[in-house]
Amino acid sequence: MSYNTGHLNEERLALAINNKMYDELNNNLRNLVMHAIPKFDRNKRIKCCKAEDYIKPDIVIYQEEEIRYISVKCGTAEGVHEEKLDRFTNFLKESGFDDYTIESYLLFHFGDGTTNGTGENRLTNFQVMVKYHDRIRKLNEQFNKSKDFIKIFADRVMFQGVNPLANQADILYHGDEDFGLLMSRKQFMRHIDFKSWDFMESVVHVGPFVLRPKGRYPNREIKNDFYRFTVVVSYPRLFSDIQLISKKYNF
């Protein structure tokens, strides 16, 4: 899913909801509005607009004093977050991870035998996972031993973003104006309390979130060095998990 397509979907959603009465909305959008604003007034128009750029919420639904921030996903795209590598490693340090754990992540990230990307022999992801198997296993253990850290990480990559002062998304909506599924942040945090992701041994992950470099360029020329110093976070089972979580936990 391209960046522009995602933004177009958000704009269409906002336009389909904004300044409409409840009865003017289709059933899908009525469901979204009812969950976003449980005490909405059917006799008053509902407002909706695009949120600011570079924060996790994509649209804002509101009616008078009731305001909800919505993060929107669509299509088959699994990516939920990107950030610069140095900012990410600082986040790990601030979260209490030791130098060995951070070094293990950097060895995985660059895949060239160094922690700064200066190596000449860049390995494929499979080769990296084989070469550093024991360190990556321990890395995953460290990343996933604390439910509190998984929740902090979830806020960073899916609801809050890197700025603690930015507006936090209340709801994640996956779909378009005609069909979609939604779950609240509260539901997702509840899910973390009861779920284990120990089975995800073949990837570097925090809970359901998979980490990788945006570009490693194994056995080929480096096309964009910025990509080598960018962390990408994806959620491979996002759509199916929303279906499960939305039914299992109270909104």
Whether the predicted model's global pTM rises above the 0.85 cut: yes
What is the predicted pLDDT for the residue at 2?
44
128 band by pLDDT with thresholds 50, 70 and 90: very high
**Mean pLDDT estimate for the chain:** 94
Domain ranges, ordered by start, for the chain: 79-165+204-237
Answer whether 186's CB lies under 8 Å from 171's CB. Answer: no
Q: pLDDT tens-digit profile of 48-84?
A: 999 988 889 999 999 988 999 999 998 776 899 999 9
Percent share of the chain, pLDDT over 70: 98
Instruction: Report pLDDT for 52.
Output: 86
The secondary structure element, H or E, covering residue 153 is helix 147-154
Instruction: Give the integer Cα–Cα distance in Å for 197 and 239.
Output: 17
What's the pLDDT score for residue 164? 87
DSSP state, residue 66: E
